[in-house]
Structure 1
Amino acid sequence: MNIFDFDFSGREMTAEKLADTVKSVAFFNEVKLVIARDVFSAGAAQQVEELIKEQKLGELRDVVLLVCENQDAKALGAKNKSLFKLLSDKAKPVKEYLFLSGVKLEQWVKSQFAARGCSADTGAVRQLVNLAGEDSWALTNETDKLSNFRQNITTADVARLVSGKAEQNIFEFTDALANKQKAKSFEILFKELSGGREPHYIFSMIVYQFRNLLAVKDLAERGLNLSAIQQKLKLHPFVARKLVAASQKFSLPDLKAKYQMLCGLDIAFKEGRVDLTDSLYNFVLA
C-alpha cells in the first residue's frame, strides 16, 4: 500500500496536489491511501467534493480517501454542508472520536496498562492523568514508560517517573517558536525561567527543535513527502506532521540563519561573553 498524507493547514498545500496524487497511476496495481487533513478549515472543501464526484472515489477499490478533521459533526456541517453530507453517506463510514475525560479517561488509561500486561491502582491512574493531562499521546508514552518499569504500578512509581505538565510547557514553547508566535513564546519562557527551569535545558530544547525543522525543510525541498520524511528522520507521526507544517512558515535560508545564530550563542556563552538567560529572550524576540 502507498500512503500519501496531505495537511491543508500548511500554506503550500493545495487541492490540485491532492488531485494529482489521486489521479496518478500506481505501479503494480497497489492500493493508495490518501489522507487529507483540515480540508474544511482550509477552504478546500468544495474542490475536494468535486474531486470525489469526478473520480468516483466512493466506488474505487484501489484509491482510499481518508478525510481527517479536528472538529465535531455540527461544526463541519456548518462549514460545508454539501461535502459533509457526501462524506456521511452510509456507504462511506464516518467515525467521530471525542476527547476523553473524567472516569472514561481513567478507564482508558487502565485499559492501556492491561494491554501491556500490567495493572495500576485507581490512585496511580488519577495521579498519572493529573500530571500528564488529557493528551492521549502523552498518556500513551507515560504508560509505555511505567509498564517497562514494573507490572503493578503504584502512585509512588508515577511520582518517581512521570515529569508532568511542566515538561509539556517546554514542548508548547518550542512549538510556539517554530510557528513564529513571539508573544506566546516570550510568555512561556518567562514562566519557565521564573519557575526555576534551567536555562541550559531550555536552550538545548530550542536547538533540538530547530535542528529538526532544518532537516525536515531540507528533505521537503528535495521532494520527499510526509511519510518519507518521518521514516528518514525516525520521527513519531504526530511530531513529523507538526514539524512539516511549522517548516512551511520558514524558508530554508531562514532556518539556516536561525541555526547558525544558535551555534554562535552556544560558543559565546561557553566563552563567557553573554548571559544565557538574556540571550534566550533575545532569540525569542529576534
Structure 2
Amino acid sequence: MSASKPVVYIFHGDDEFALGEAVNSIRAQMGDATTAEMNTTRLEGRNLNLDDLVRATRSLPFLAERRLVVLTDPLGSLKTNADRDKFKKIMEETPATTALAVRISSPLLDARGRRSGKTHWLEKWAAGQAGKAYVREYSLPKGPQMANWIRQKAKESGGEFNLQAAALLGIYVGDDPRLAAQEIEKLLAYVNYQRPVEPDDVEHLVAYAGETSVFEMVDALGARNGREALRLLHRLLAEDDPLRLFGMVTRQFRLLLQTRELIDAGNREQEIASTLKIHPFVVQKLMGQVRNFSLPQLETIYHKLLEIDEAIKTGQTEGDVALETLVAALTV
C-alpha cells in the first residue's frame, strides 16, 4: 500500500454530482464492484453514533487492500467541542486499511467566511495531518463556468464541444452537472466522437420540455395529491430516461430548499434570483411553490434524494422504482 495515500478524505460543497464522483473514484480503486460493495460501509451523519464510526473504521478489509467508510453530513451531530475532539481522534486513529470519506453537502465556509480569512475546524485539523487527510471543495458550476465545465468533461470523455454548443447546453441543464454529464455522453455518441458538438446538435437532441411537467409533479407532491403526482411521474417516465428525470427532480428540490432558506433569511425576489443565478420568472414560480413545504420538510426530502442517488449508483435500486417509492412516501 502506498504510504502517501490519504486515509481521511473530506469532500465538501454544493455540487452533489462531483461529491458522488469523488467517492466513486475511491471505490474504483478497491477492485471489482462486488468486492468494493462488500468492503463499503455507509453512515448517515445526521444521526451519527461515534461508536458506530469507530467500529466501521476499525473493521478489516475482506479480500481487498482497504475498506471504505462513507460518512455523509456529520457536522450537525458535532456541535460541541467534546464531540468534535472525539471525532478528530477517531479520524487520527483510523488505520491505513480504511479510507474514511466524509461527504458534506455544503461548503465548509460560505464566501463571506472565506473573504474574512476564516478557516473551518475540519480544515485546521486536516492541515496538521501531514498527508493523512485530503480536503477538497466541489462547487456547482454556474453561468459561464458551466460551459467551461461541459467542454472539460467532453475532453475527458474523448470528445469536444465548441463554445456556443457548450453555452447552449448550459442553458438547458441549468446548474445540474449530473444532467449535463448525461447529455454530454449522448451528444458525443451522436457525433460519434468524430467532430465537435455544435449548437444544432444540442437543439436537435436535447429535450427540455420535461421541466414544466416536473414542476407540476412537485406541485402535486406539495399538495399531498399522490394520485396526480404518480400520474405525472408515469407520464414523464414514458417520455424520458429515469436517471435524467431523477436529476431534474433533485435539481427542483435543491432550488426549493435554497429558495426557502433565502426567504426565511429575509431575501426578496431579485436578491434570490441574483444569489441563485436564475431568471426572476423562475424565482416567482419557486416562491409560489415553496409555500407548500416547510424548511425541515425540504431538508428531509433532499437528504432522501441523496440516499436514493447513492442507491441508484450502487445498483441497489432502479431509477423508476426509486422515484415511485419517493412519491408514495411523500404523499401518504
Give the equivalent residue in structure 2 for 1:7: 44
Distance across 2 between alignment mates of 1:97 and 1:50: 26
- Distance change in 2, residues 1:102/1:72 (3 Å): same
The offset of 1:155, in angstroms, is 1.6
Query: TM (normalized to structure 2)?
Result: 0.50
Query: TM (normalized to structure 1)?
Result: 0.56
The offset of 1:16, in angstroms, is 3.6
Cα deviation digits, residues 118-174 of structure 1 (max 9, x gap): 33222221111111112111100000011111143222221121123x435656777
Give the equivalent residue in structure 2 for 1:50: 86
Distance across 1 between alignment mates of 2:127 and 2:147: 31
Matched, 1:182 2:222: yes
The offset of 1:31, in angstroms, is 1.0
Unaligned runs of 5+ in 1: 191-196, 213-225, 260-283
Counting only pairs closer than 5 Å after superposition, residues 22-101 of structure 1 correspond to structure 2 as 22-28=57-63, 30-43=65-78, 47=83, 49-54=85-90, 56-57=92-93, 60-74=95-109, 82-89=121-128, 91=130, 92-101=133-142
Give the equivalent residue in structure 1 for 2:265: none
Deviates more, 1:31-40 or 1:45-54: 45-54
Give the equivalent residue in structure 1 for 2:160: 119
Name which one, 1 or 2, has greater alpha-carbon Rg. Answer: 1
The correspondence for 2:235, drawn from 201, 205, 213, is: 201
Give the equivalent residue in structure 2 for 1:220: none
The correspondence for 1:17, drawn from 52, 60, 65, is: 52
Which aligned segments of 4 or more residues in structure 1 are displaced greater than 6 angstroms?
172-177, 226-229
Percent identity for Structure 1 against Structure 2: 18
Root-mean-square deviation (CA, aligned residues, Å) is 4.7
Distance across 2 between alignment mates of 1:56 and 1:199: 46
- Distance change in 2, residues 1:82/1:130 (3 Å): closer
Counterpart code for 1:119: E
- Distance change in 2, residues 1:57/1:227 (3 Å): farther
Are the counterparts in 2 of residues 37 and 69 from structure 1 also a CA contact under 8 Å?
yes
The correspondence for 1:153, drawn from 197, 222, 226, is: 197
- Distance change in 2, residues 1:135/1:230 (3 Å): closer
Are the counterparts in 2 of residues 15 and 48 from structure 1 also a CA contact under 8 Å?
no
Q: How many residues align?
A: 216
Are the counterparts in 1 of residues 213 and 232 from structure 2 also a CA contact under 8 Å?
no
Unaligned runs of 5+ in 2: 1-29, 31-38, 247-308
- Distance change in 2, residues 1:26/1:155 (3 Å): closer
